[in-house]
């Protein structure tokens, strides 16, 4: 029998529940709150075995880094981690992701948007309480896209990396958007990051150029085939996004 997504939140303050918790609950997931304390959070994780943990980066007794490391050391099926911070920087995000997090959110965040991301991270149908079959039943779509970008050679610290990841996920969830890259896709990504469509386009182009300069030719050939031929050059932004999203979509159908 399918089950609801269980989210464990390391914040039981009235203001947090009012501003964020209620929207998470209304999305269809089961939300359990624990005080903002790393030691208490770790105890609750071992007791409840949640699907996803939403935790502040800095907590009394044990911070998020310590909690994630303890789970990696002590648990076979550890939960996905979404970490929340009041600040954001490429260095901080890289450290948090390398420590085991699936996503780094920044206060103040939109709880409805974060709920959708949490569903995707855990492999659930967005906006639903039921589990979705992912590509290999163990990894979420977002993690699959992230791994592909790493394989191709797109560095995680540049803006284009994040824009590409969201663009590919959008193209998988809404295939027709790839036919309106400049009118729909770029503006949608730009809105999420409070920037402009032209900056999104330039950042994605830069990310692709970096990947072509530093990436493994065999890996690039696997994903892009003829586009890396000397006479063709690098793929366009839309080609890059379409090829990866189509590949993942076909894997999802076959799964």
Q: Which segments are annotated as binding site?
A: 12, 56
Are the CB atoms for 86 and 106 separated by under 8 Å? yes
- β-strand 103-106 against 52-56: which pairing, if any? unpaired
Tokens at 84, concatenated = 């929340």
Give the list of residues 6+ apart from residue 5 with CB closer than 8 angstroms, or none.
28, 29, 30, 51, 52, 118, 119, 122, 124, 129, 131
CB-CB contact of 64 with 103 (8 Å): no
Residues annotated in the binding site for Ca(2+), as ranges?
12, 56
Nearest to 158 by CA among 190, 111, 206: 206
* Residue 247 structure tokens: 């590949």
């Amino acid at each position: 029998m399918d089950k609801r997504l269980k989210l464990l939140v390391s914040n039981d303050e009235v203001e947090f529940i009012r501003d964020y918790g209620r929207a998470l609950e209304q999305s269809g997931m089961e939300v359990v709150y624990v005080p903002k304390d790393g030691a208490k959070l770790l105890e609750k994780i071992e007791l409840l075995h949640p699907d996803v943990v939403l935790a502040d980066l800095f907590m009394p007794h044990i911070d998020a880094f310590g909690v994630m490391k303890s789970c990696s050391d002590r648990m076979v099926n550890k939960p996905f981690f979404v970490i929340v911070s009041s600040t954001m920087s490429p260095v901080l995000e890289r450290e948090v992701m390398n420590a085991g997090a699936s996503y780094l959110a920044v206060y103040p965040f939109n709880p409805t948007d974060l709920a959708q991301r949490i569903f995707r991270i855990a492999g659930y149908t967005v906006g639903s309480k039921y589990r979705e079959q992912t590509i290999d039943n163990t990894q979420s779509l977002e993690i699959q896209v992230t791994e592909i970008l790493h394989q191709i050679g797109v560095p995680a610290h540049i803006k284009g990396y994040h824009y590409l990841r969201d663009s590919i996920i959008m193209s998988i969830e809404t295939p027709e958007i790839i036919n309106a890259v400049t009118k729909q896709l770029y503006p949608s990504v730009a809105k999420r990051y409070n920037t402009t469509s032209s900056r999104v386009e330039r950042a994605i182009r830069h990310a692709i150029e970096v990947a072509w300069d530093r990436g493994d030719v065999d890996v690039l050939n696997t994903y892009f085939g003829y586009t890396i031929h000397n006479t063709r050059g690098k793929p366009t932004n839309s080609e890059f996004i379409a090829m990866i999203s189509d590949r993942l979509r076909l894997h999802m159908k076959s799964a």
